[in-house]
Structures are given as structure tokens and as C-alpha cells.
Amino acid sequence: MNISYGLDDTTPACDGWGFDDTTAARVLRRRLVDGDGQGFDQGAPLAAMGCFEGFRCADCGATAPEVAATRCGACGGVLEGSYDLDAGVPSRDTVAERTGGWRLPELLPIGPVELGEGATPLVETPRVADELDVAALHIKDEGHNPTGSVADRGLALVAAAAADRGDTRLSLASTGVDGQSAAAYAARAGLDARVVVPSRASFVTKAMINVHGGDMRVVEGRYDDARAAHAAERDDHPAESDARFPAGPFESPYRHEGVKPVYHEIVQTLAWRVPDAVVVPVGHGTVPVGVRSAARELDAAGLVDGTPRVYAAQPAGCAPVVEALDGGRAPEPIDHPDTVVGALEVPDPAGGRRAVEAVRASGGAGVAVDDEDALDAAATVAHHEGLELGVAGGVAAAGAWTLRERGELDAADTVVLLNPVAGSKDADVVRSRLMGRGL
């Protein structure tokens, strides 16, 4: 069985890749299967990798056989992995015997540059579940990744793809957290990193980009200013001329493909039961797209029964995906974004349309929350359960409350919230809210 991800669930399965053993994809697969890959810590799990067939454009359906593909060569669209799910998806027991953060490498396009990412805790939070009046609430805490964010998973694959292509530099515009991650994984892979961040990026992320040896440029303003400055650099110096690999979200398939283990780990921890709902904060859109892809693949492979509803939570001051979901249309850029949740202040998300399609296809919805509610929710979870959420995680938590009030979540539901960034990165923002309330 082949599965691919087009614009909606009616897209036919993809056949006829036409790859043969001379293509780069096959060569890499063979290298991974044989365990003689360069620069990858192979380990036992990667030895079994074998379902990846290539990439397919989500917009025009063109196939991209090259291992280190970025965007569609025909139309510039977003690429997504295609997998032969009859070709060696391991059993539950086999997955259970594996350790670490990459327990289903068969469902990834490339082996990672490893730094201890993944295998993050799924923490049950019964007091918050009671307050929310749902059957169970679990928080997937991606703050436990090496640089404290879910971005590490995708950058582990980006760094591997860049090294495989022979590039020497990762390059991206960043709100901050994925720039830190790119600098770390570039260092791990022996590459350079060019990171353009807005001045409003947090001190911690900017400092750590420097500490990892990243080549950082700080642009006055917000994320879109950084993105424009980064695009201008590329125009002045085409990537071909200086061996840069585009490391931004949806600039290659690796960022969203790298999110899939988040979902693999959630269902494995839940004894292969599919949660009813997964509430994820959305910036660029990699997380809902990756979670939905993983959910469809595990269901199609027969490892689980069914898929969860995926809910997209965004700050009300910058909610292009939620507004598109509410309005039954494609996302439109936000002219004047304004939120304290810097990691989610992405007014024209690269994966916006893909995120909307993923959420709609799952049966989920969007929810926008005020900054104050997001900060209060982060503080409430920390106070009642001891778990530290970043403000983006607070957006998901506050969103869950609104979704419960709207009846989107009900009392019988098992709900998973995703905290994408470590709480300690946002300590000043959450504490200032407490102080503003006189606490």
C-alpha cells in the first residue's frame, strides 16, 4: 500500500515512482540499511529503515527522487514523504524493544544527526483534566529536547540532508527557537549556520545561536522583517554559489517529516490507543502537518485504529490559520501581528494552507486565545501540576479550555496538549503576567 499526502484525504495514493536502484534515494536507503552511512549514528533502529519511496509535491503531484530535496522542482510546492506501508513497517512489539527518539525510522526519509532529541515525556495531568472536565489530559513536553524545542526533531533531519547533499551551511530566518536548534545541529553535523532573527527574539535564543558558533544577523523588527532580510540575502547570493541548505519550515520536507515521531511516541506511550484530540500550537504549521501525516500513516499501516482530531491553537493577535479554519478559506497574511508569544508570531506561515488542510481533514478546528489567557494557562499548569510550559504551550492549554466550552472537546475525551518550547525559555514573560496580577 502506498500513501501520499495531497491537498485533502481524497488525493489518490501515489504509484509509479519509477525509481530504480540507481537513484540517489535508493542509494541512501541502501547505505542506511547496510549501516555504512557517513556522519550518521546508525544504531539498531536505522538498520530496519525501508518504507521511504521518495517525495511528492503536495501541490502538483510531481515526484522528487533526490534524497536532499527541498521544494518541488516543477512548481515550487511543498514536498512530503511517500512510504510503502507494506514494506517493512515494524510490529508494536518491535517498536517497543527500541529506545531513544527515533523508534520508527522506517517512516522517515533519512537518518538523523543525533543529539539526544525525542523520547520526550507524555505527562498525565489529572488535576487539569478534572478542571477541564475531560476523561484524561496528557501534555507532550517537547521542552525536553536538546535545545528545548520541538524544532530539534526536524533540524536533526535537515542537518543530515544538508550533509548528504554536500552543503556546508544551514540557512534560515527564525523567530528564535528554531534558529537556536539549527545552530546546534549544524555544529553537531560539522556545518555552519546562518540565522537571521528579529530583534524581538528572546535573549536566550540569540545568545545560544552565538554560543553554538552560528553566524547570526539581528534585524530590527519582527519575524517578517527577518524573513525578508534573509530572502534578500539569498537573492544576492544564490544558494548554489555557497552551498547553503534551506533550513526553514516547509523549505524542505524535513522539518515537517521530523515532527512525525512526536505522534509515534504519543500513541506508543498510550499503549497504542489513539487519543480523541490533540491540541497543538501553530506558528509555521509544521506540527499539525507532521502530526496528521504520522496519524494517517500509523492508521494505514495497521499499528493503531483511527486518527485523532487535531486542533490548531494560535494567539488571537496572530491567528491566520485559525481565521482560515473559521472562515472556510485559505490563510491570508496578518497585516499587524501583535502577540507576546514570539514563537507563534508568524503572520504569513509557510505551511499555513497545509496546516488548515491537515486540521480540517482530521475533523478538528481552530481556536484563538488572548495572550493573557495563554500566560495564565501556562502558570496554572505549572502551579497545579508542576509542569513548565512555554507561552506557546500556554496557547494550547488555553485553547483546550475554549474548545471544551465550545463543546469541541467532551467529557469522555482523552486529550493531548503539545508544549513545543521549554517553559524556562519564557520565564520572564509568564512571571511578568503574575506580577501584573499582583501575585
The piece of 71-79, 170-178, 256-264, 418-426 that touches Zn ion (CB under 5 A) is: 71-79
Of these, 1, 27, 44, 74, which contacts Zn ion (CB under 5 A)? 74
Q: How far apart are CA 153 and CA 150, in angstroms?
A: 6
Nearer to Zn ion, 82 or 307 (CB): 82
Q: How many residues bind Zn ion (CB under 5 A)?
A: 8
CA gap 218, 154 in Å, rounded: 23
Cα distances (Å, whole numbers) of residue 210 to 207, 337, 403, 435: 5, 27, 40, 31
Which residue in the set 7, 27, 75, 207 belongs to the binding site for Zn ion (CB under 5 A)? 75
Q: Which is nearer to Zn ion, 77 or 146 (CB)?
A: 77
Nearer to Zn ion, 79 or 374 (CB): 79
How far, CA to CA in Å, does 264 sit from each of 26, 56, 293, 345? 25, 22, 11, 27
Helix (H) or strand (E) holding 384: helix 371-385
Options 72-80, 323-331, 410-418, 424-432: segment touching Zn ion (CB under 5 A): 72-80
Contact region for Zn ion (CB under 5 A) — 76-84, 117-125, 196-204, 406-414?
A: 76-84
Mask 41-60, x = binds Zn ion (CB under 5 A)?
----------------x-xx
Least distance (Å) between residue 14 CB and Zn ion: 13
Q: How far is the CB of 51 from Zn ion (least distance, A)?
A: 22
> Residues 35, 50, 81, 145: is their CA dihedral positive or negative?
negative
Nearer to Zn ion, 16 or 328 (CB): 16
Interface residue with Zn ion among 45, 50, 54, 77 (CB under 5 A) is: 77
Cβ contacts of 131 within 8 Å, gap of 6 or more: 384
Measured from the CB atom, is 76 or 436 closer to Zn ion? 76
Q: Collapse the DSSP code of 414 into the 3-class scheme (helix H, G, I; strand E, B; otherwise coil) and give the result.
A: strand
Nearer to Zn ion, 255 or 433 (CB): 255
Q: What is the DSSP string of 183-209?
A: HHHHHHHT-EEEEEEETTS-HHHHHHH
Minimum CB–partner distance for residue 354 and Zn ion (Å)? 13
* Residue with smaller CB distance to Zn ion, 63 or 269: 63
Residue whose C-alpha is closest to residue 111's, from 186, 191, 39: 39
- Out of 67, 72, 279, 395, which residue is the one contacting Zn ion (CB under 5 A)? 72
Contact, 204 vs 226, CB < 8 A? Answer: no
As measured in angstroms, the least distance from the Cβ of 55 to Zn ion is: 10
Would you call 126 helix, strand, or coil by DSSP?
Answer: helix
95, 269 Cβ separation under 8 angstroms? no
Binding segment (CB under 5 A) for Zn ion, from list 68-76, 101-109, 250-258, 352-360? 68-76
- Map residues 9-38 to x or -, x wherever contact with Zn ion holds by CB under 5 A: ------------------------------
In the numeric block, the cell 492549554 is attached to: 397
244-246 and 2-3 beta bridge pairing: unpaired
Min CB(249)–Zn ion separation in Å: 18
64 counts as binding Zn ion under rule CB under 5 A:
no
**Residue 64 or 279: which CB sits closer to Zn ion?**
64
Compare residues 14 and 266 and give the one whose CB is closer to Zn ion.
Answer: 14
Write out the three cell numbers for 116.
539526544
- Please, is 382 exposed, middle or buried when counting C-beta atoms within 10 Å of its C-beta (0-12, 13-18, 19+)? middle
Distance CA 243, CA 332 (A): 33
Residue 83 forms beta bridges with which residues?
3, 52
Pick between residue 80 and residue 373 the one whose CB is nearest to Zn ion.
80
Site stretch for Zn ion (CB under 5 A), options 64-72, 269-277, 297-305, 331-339: 64-72
Residues that bind Zn ion (CB under 5 A): 57, 59-60, 62, 72, 74-75, 77
